[in-house]
Amino acid sequence: MGGGGAWRLGLPRLLVMTFVLFALCGFGVHGRSHIHKKPHGGGWHRGGGTVVSSPAVPPADEQTQPATPPPVGIVPSDLAIPTEPEQCVLEVRAFGAVGDGATDDTEAFRAAWRAACAVDSAVILVPSDVTFTITATTFVGPCKPGLIFQVGMITLLTLFVHVWFILASADRVDGVLMPPDDPDCWPPSDNKRQWFVFSNLNGLTLRCSGTIEGNGEDWWNLPCKPHRLVRFFMSRNLVVEGLRVENSPEFHFRFDGCSDVRVDGLSIRSPANSPNTDGIHVENTERVAIYNSMISNGDDCISIGTGSYDVDIQNVTCGPGHGISIGSLGVHNSQACVANVTVRNAVIRNSDNGLRIKTWQGGMGAVSGISFDTVTMENVRNCIIIDQYYCLDKRCMNQSTAVHVTDVSYTNVRGSYDVRAAPIHFACSDTVPCTNITMSEVELLPFSGELVDDPFCWSAYGLQQTPTIPPIYCLQDGLPDSLLDNPDLKCR
């Protein structure tokens, strides 16, 4: 617990900065927080990480925490664990951060990032049990290897990849990071389309048992609001673990232009009526694993946008919200490509949609290689839906082209549906039908009321491998000639 004396004795900031300089030379700097009359010790610790597989069974309810320890690693393959280097610890309060929930600590965080980014094996330490207010900020790389951005106890740290950003600690009162809590407080010069951005980094881990509070309530009724609470851009080898994120103005997490991403153990929560608060959005990103997470919000639980390849979703509980969605794709006659998406061992509750693929008319490209396996529904409208006529206001013009939806399988999808809509809905294009849809062990019964035994099906081709409840009689055999050798439907 030693090393907090500089704070307890009230020594001048110059002396604290001297400790920081020692840290840059290989010595540890420790801070102690006295917020809420609960002191905290800081320190540094060397440890090793392990790579473990994702659990196979989803959490039973929103109070259940994943039983398997959070895995650490990069998909798709396991990596050897490196030897941990010596660390240099820099505490954000030494750069001027206050942490009283009211003071703008943005410049202190930026200064700490710049200093740490230039030093091998640096640790940016943000103490737990403290609330830091930060305006729109981009943390840009590349950085020296071994950079750690940590909120909480260093002694719980196990090293694995180049950059760690850890919020709070499991045995202490949570730390909180948040934007200004009112639109009027948002600096006029700041980017209002995003808040916390990590860009051009290789090997970033964002980890915490604390909270990122989006303060979105005052934004939800405004026409202009930040679209992304936390964004990862043009980065690779990313790990996001253990975060609690609440009340984003719009998207909670967005990954775009990234590769080799692992998301594990997230808790995302916003009200069911909060607009466009997608939980996790993936776009132009490949080799993504999303595991062991619980998401309740006002829009898609997980949304997969164009340019997404090799996405593995396991052990995720969604609801309320709009379910797990691929799309929307092909807006404004654009080309969209998504391939190799797997959803396994998921639970979807009290949602407007369950498993959804949505595309705009007039688009091009293809959605292919989609597998939904072992998914439980509870009181869900539109449990299984493919909609190639997606339109926000239902006034869209009919167009002759569409994004091709093909090779989609539904296996062991069971549970209950809201009888206000048919549980299975395949609305496919006349000119670009859906093909190779496979149904096996699909059993959906009404949550309450009478059985809806007439699923909607239009221009859909595929087969039932086993009897389905409700039965699907409208799937057509074969492959339409109009889809053969059509260059507009090609992707990779």
pLDDT surpassing 50 at residue 291: yes
Question: Quick one: pLDDT at residue 92?
Answer: 84
Residue-wise over 126-138: b if at least 16 C-beta within 10 A, else e?
bbbbbbbbbbbbb
322 is catalytic: yes
Is 318 within a domain?
no
Tell which of 260, 277, 310 closes a domain. 310
Task: Tell me the chain's radius of gyration from C-alpha atoms.
Answer: 24
Q: CB neighbours of 47 closer than 8 A, spacing ≥ 6?
A: 84, 157, 158, 159
CATH number at residue 438: 2.160.20.10
The answer to whether residue 129 scores a pLDDT higher than 50 is: yes
One domain for residues 329 and 306: no
Residue 315 domain-assigned (yes or no): no
User: Tokens 């909609």 map to which residue?
Assistant: 387
Co-location of 369 and 433 in the same domain: yes
Residue 76 has pLDDT above 50, yes or no: no
Mean residue pLDDT across the chain: 76
Catalytic residue among 322, 332, 404, 425, which? 322
Alpha-carbon distance 324 to 408, whole Å? Answer: 14
In a domain, 394, yes or no: yes
pLDDT band at 351 (very low <50, low <70, confident <90, very high): very high
Average pLDDT of the segment spanning 186-196:
60
Is residue 317 assigned to a domain? no
Closest CA to 428 of 455, 402, 401, 459: 459
Distance CA 290, CA 103 (A): 35
Residue 2 has pLDDT above 50, yes or no: no
| CA angle (160, 201, 330) in 5-degree steps | 115
pLDDT at 25 over 70: no
Q: What is the four-CA torsion angle of 73, 174, 315, 69, rounded to 10 degrees?
A: 50
Among 327, 284, 285, residue whose Cα is nearest residue 302? 327
Q: What pLDDT score does 189 carry?
A: 53
Instruction: Give a yes or no: residue 417 inside a domain.
Output: yes
The answer to whether residue 358 is domain-embedded is: yes
CA distance 247 to 379: 24
Query: 337 and 274 in one domain?
Result: no
Higher pLDDT, residue 296 or 74: 296
In the chain, the N- to C-terminal Cα span, in Å, equals 55
Is it the case that residue 34 has pLDDT exceeding 50?
no
The answer to whether residue 465 sits within a structural domain is yes
Does one domain contain both 289 and 375?
A: no
Mean pLDDT calculated for residue range 113-140:
83
pLDDT of residue 122: 77
Query: Which of 24-33, 47-56, 102-111, 303-312 tops mean pLDDT?
Result: 303-312
- Return d(Cα 483, Cα 492) in angstroms, integer: 17
Count of domains for the chain:
2
Pick 440 or 191 by higher pLDDT: 440
Given this model, what pLDDT does residue 200 score?
A: 93
Return the pLDDT at 53. 45
Helix (H) or strand (E) holding 290: strand 286-296
Quick one: which of 97, 237, 250 has its CA closest to 175? 97
Answer yes or no: do 359 and 269 share one domain.
no
Q: Is the pLDDT of residue 190 over 70?
A: no
Please indicate, yes or no, if residue 456 is contained in any of the structural domains.
Answer: yes
- % residues pLDDT > 90 (the chain): 43
Residues 211 and 95 in one domain: yes
Dihedral angle sign, alpha carbons of residues 45, 47, 53, 59: negative
Distance, CA of 471 to CA of 465 (rounded, Å)? 12
- What token pair was written down for 148? 């750690």
Task: Say what the pLDDT of residue 28 is.
Answer: 35
Residue 169 is predicted with a pLDDT of: 29
Are 263 and 327 contained in the same domain? no
Domain end (from 310, 333, 349): 310
pLDDT by residue (tens digit) across 381-397? Answer: 999 999 999 998 878 88
Q: How confident is the model at residue 453 (pLDDT cuts 50, 70, 90)?
A: confident
* Dihedral sign for Cα atoms in the order 13, 18, 23, 27: negative
Q: Which helix (H) or strand (E) holds 283?
A: strand 280-283
Under DSSP, the state recorded for 313 is: E
- What is the Cα–Cα distance from 239 to 236, expressed in whole angstroms? 9
Name the token pair of 14: 């110059």
């010069």: which residue's tokens?
A: 189
* Same domain, residue pair 24 and 163: yes
Both 293 and 329 in a single domain?
no
The tokens describing 490, both together, are: 């090609």
Per the structure, the complete domain to which residue 216 belongs is given by 1-310
Average pLDDT over residues 260-281: 93
Lowest-confidence segment of 206-215, 329-338, 413-422 by average pLDDT: 206-215
Same domain, 366 and 306: no
For 329, other C-beta atoms within 10 Å of its C-beta total 28
**What tokens appear for 248 in the block?**
């984003």
User: Which of 310, 331, 348 delimits the end of a domain?
Assistant: 310
User: What dihedral angle (degrees, nearest 10) is formed by the CA atoms of 257, 261, 266, 268?
Assistant: 20
45 with 129, same domain: the answer is yes
For 351, which DSSP code?
Answer: B
Q: How far apart are CA 377 and CA 436, in angstroms?
A: 23
- What mean pLDDT comes out for the span 156-160? 25
Residue 434 has pLDDT above 70, yes or no: yes
414 closest CA partner among 347, 461, 321: 347
For residue 85, what pLDDT is reported?
57
Is the model's pTM score more than 0.85?
no
- Do 362 and 488 meet the contact criterion of CB atoms below 8 Å apart? no
Q: Are residues 209 and 238 in the same domain?
A: yes
